[in-house]
């Protein structure tokens, strides 16, 4: 039973302790519920730091592995199999960091059914952490689908005016893709005789044309989650209708589950297909970058603007991953973290002004800089980080991705054309256009609406919510080396494995 106290089991299931405590509270004990959830997520974050302390960055393989047979099925076994490596350690930390921050942001925003909200939120954290740690395909699928349930309720109960529509659409849309992935998982289990990632990778040898089909089945689930253009239609609804904490988690973590899925499963399991389809994935990624940026620019609702900007930013991540070289993949992973920090912070910021004015109409504001100076400064930092200003985190990620995409543009690279990198670079400019427009319309110029004159600046709780994100925004922007070090060896190994497998493979 030692695996019950294994650090990865603890970090995954500790929020369950919070859920158990919450069950004993009465519904009207709102503050107690908040504190229980906050403490539970903070302890989970602490455990994830302990995991980081035990993590050896120079080891490219899975670490802190816990692997026990779980469901014995004739012939092949399903394992309870958790492990962490350079691909997932940063996403684990991002998830456990964003959870307490989101809880903290609900302190006054969520007043209805606080206890239920916190229970769903803690359950959601279990699912998210499990997704990033699971190394058995079946276990992964269980966690993957499990995240849908609490999110469905978070949007459906605490969401905006069209919450039921958004919640059902979110659920059905993401579920539809997952079913195809389940079929591919079953194929692997039946034909390869195992669900465990290391065993599957050691076996290899899936014929080329089958790889393409399996790749596409997995991609159906992940591409919807990312979301890749043109599968993004669920996103503006879910993001806009979700409560602030839900939007933060949606953008910060759930979208990363899609890009992480490509990285963890599609690239190493189907290397031939990955190389073969890389230009197609890059084309969709670049369309997403430009399309997302252009559509963001025309939005009248601030939250919708931020939602569409995710389509653009996640396009960068996909472009980096399918460069299939070290810079591209490392940049992609770092940009996942960056997007979680910047867009998470942007959703918090939108939530703060919504709580005061109960509107998100971009034209309802103007001149806020004079009324809410602290809010203005923090927003400016986050906005500049989101558009990739040098010295802040977004620049490091996007720059590394563009380097990778450019490298992949060489004749022997996975793209074989420089066009993807060149067009994506235009996306950086278009990001600046919509971000600066948003900032200008909200903060600059004279105060045109009288309702805005009496707005209060941020209180200490709101500042505390944003400050950890802003520290990380500067840290990654100025000294990203520790972050690259954590993922470097694993990524290098992955790149080598893809090259070796795709060269050896004849369709």
Partner 1 sequence: MVLAGLSVLGGLLNFPSLKTFGIWLEHTLKNNLHEGEFVLLIAVISTILALLAIFLGWWLYNPRRYESFWAMPAAKRQDDPLRVYIGPVFEVLKNKYWVDELYWTVILNPYISLSRFLADVVDWRFWHDWFHDKVLAGGYDLLTRLLAVQIDLGIIDGIANGLGTLAQRSAGSLRRVQTGYVRNYALFIFLGVVIILGYLILAGNPLK
Residues that bind partner 1 (CB under 8 A): 169, 230, 233, 236-237, 291, 294-295, 297-299, 308, 433
- Helices and strands (DSSP H and E) totals, the chain: 22, 2
Task: End-to-end CA distance of the chain: give it in Å, rounded.
Answer: 45
72 vs 230, beta carbon nearer partner 1 = 230
Rank residues 68 and 168 by Cβ distance to partner 1 and give the closer one.
168
Shortest spacing between CB 212 and partner 1, in angstroms: 26
Q: Which is nearer to partner 1, 100 or 409 (CB)?
A: 409
Crossing angle, helix 373-386 and helix 393-408, to 10 degrees?
A: 10
Establish how many alpha carbons lie within 13 A of residue 237's alpha carbon, considering only the half-sphere containing its beta carbon. 18
Q: Is 418 exposed, middle or buried (0-12, 13-18, 19+ CB in 10 A)?
A: middle
Give the nearest distance from C-beta 301 to partner 1 in angstroms.
Answer: 11
Contact between 141 and 184 under an 8 Å Cβ cutoff? The reply is no
In angstroms, give the least distance from the CB of 462 to partner 1. 30
- String of b and e for 435-467 (b: at least 16 CB within 10 Å)? bebbbebbbeeebeeeebeeeeebeeebeebbe
In the complex, least distance from residue 232 CB atom to partner 1, rounded to whole angstroms:
8
Shortest distance, CB of residue 110 to partner 1, whole angstroms? Answer: 28
Closest Cα to residue 484, out of 97, 475, 128?
Answer: 475
- Identify which of residues 139 and 295 has a Cβ nearer to partner 1 in the complex: 295
Q: What is the dihedral of CA 345, 349, 355, 358, to 10 degrees?
A: -120
Smallest distance, Å, CB 439 to partner 1?
A: 17
Q: Tell me the HSE value of 419 on the side-chain side, using a 13 A CA sphere.
A: 10
Helical segments of 444-478, H only: 460-478
- Number of CB atoms found within 10 A of residue 193's CB: 13
| 37-53 per-residue burial string, b: 16 or more CB within 10 A, e: under 16 | bbebbbbbbebbeebee
Name which of 165 and 419 has its Cβ closer to partner 1.
165
CB of 298 to partner 1, least distance (A): 4
Question: Which residue lies nearer to partner 1 by CB, 143 or 291?
Answer: 291
Q: How far is CA 388 from CA 245, 268, 503, in A?
A: 24, 30, 36
Nearest-approach distance from CB 316 to partner 1, in angstroms: 19
Cβ proximity to partner 1, 233 vs 459, nearer residue: 233
Toward partner 1, which CB reaches closer, 166 or 277? 166
């Amino acid at each position: 039973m030692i695996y019950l106290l294994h650090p990865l089991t603890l970090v995954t299931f500790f929020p369950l302790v919070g859920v158990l405590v919450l069950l004993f509270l009465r519904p009207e004990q709102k503050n107690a519920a908040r504190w229980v959830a906050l403490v539970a997520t903070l302890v989970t974050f602490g455990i994830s730091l302990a995991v980081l302390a035990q993590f050896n960055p120079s080891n490219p393989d899975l670490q802190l592995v816990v692997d026990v047979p779980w469901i014995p099925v004739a012939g092949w076994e399903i394992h309870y199999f958790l492990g962490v490596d350079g691909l997932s350690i940063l996403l684990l930390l991002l998830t456990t960091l964003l959870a307490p921050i989101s809880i903290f942001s609900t302190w006054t925003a969520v007043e209805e059914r606080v206890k239920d909200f916190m229970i769903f939120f803690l359950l959601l954290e279990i699912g998210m952490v499990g997704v990033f740690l699971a190394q058995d395909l079946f276990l992964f699928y269980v966690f993957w689908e499990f995240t849908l349930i609490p999110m469905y309720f978070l949007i459906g109960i605490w969401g905006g005016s069209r919450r039921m529509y958004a919640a059902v659409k979110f659920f059905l849309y993401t579920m539809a893709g997952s079913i195809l992935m389940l079929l591919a998982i079953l194929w692997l289990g039946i034909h390869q005789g195992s669900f465990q990632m290391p065993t599957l990778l050691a076996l290899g040898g899936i014929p080329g044309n089958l790889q393409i089909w399996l790749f596409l089945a997995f991609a159906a689930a992940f591409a919807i989650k990312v979301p890749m253009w043109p599968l993004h239609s669920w996103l503006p609804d879910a993001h806009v209708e979700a409560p602030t904490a839900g939007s933060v988690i949606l953008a910060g973590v759930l979208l990363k589950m899609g890009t992480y899925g490509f990285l963890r499963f599609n690239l190493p399991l189907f290397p031939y297909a990955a190389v073969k389809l890389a230009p197609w994935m890059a084309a969709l990624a670049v369309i997403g970058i430009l399309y997302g940026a252009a559509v963001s620019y025309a939005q009248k609702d601030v939250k919708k603007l931020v939602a569409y900007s995710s389509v653009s930013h996640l396009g960068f991540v996909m472009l980096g991953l399918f460069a299939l070289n070290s810079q591209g993949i490392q940049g992609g992973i770092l940009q996942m973290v960056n997007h979680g920090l910047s867009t998470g912070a942007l959703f918090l910021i939108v939530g703060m002004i919504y709580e005061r004015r109960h509107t998100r109409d971009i034209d309802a504001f103007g001149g806020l800089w004079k009324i809410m100076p602290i809010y203005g400064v923090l927003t400016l930092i986050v906005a500049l980080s989101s558009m990739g200003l040098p010295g802040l985190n977004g620049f490091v990620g996007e720059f590394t991705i563009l380097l990778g995409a450019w490298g992949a543009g060489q004749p022997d690279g996975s793209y074989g054309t420089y066009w993807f990198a060149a067009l994506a670079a235009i996306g950086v400019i278009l990001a600046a256009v919509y971000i600066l427009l948003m900032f200008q319309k909200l903060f600059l110029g004279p105060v045109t609406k009288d309702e805005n004159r009496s707005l209060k600046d941020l209180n200490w709780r709101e500042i505390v919510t944003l400050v950890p994100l802003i520290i990380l925004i500067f840290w990654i922007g100025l000294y990203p080396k520790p972050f690259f070090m954590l993922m470097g060896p694993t990524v290098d190994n992955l790149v080598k494995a893809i090259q070796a497998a795709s060269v050896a493979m004849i369709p």
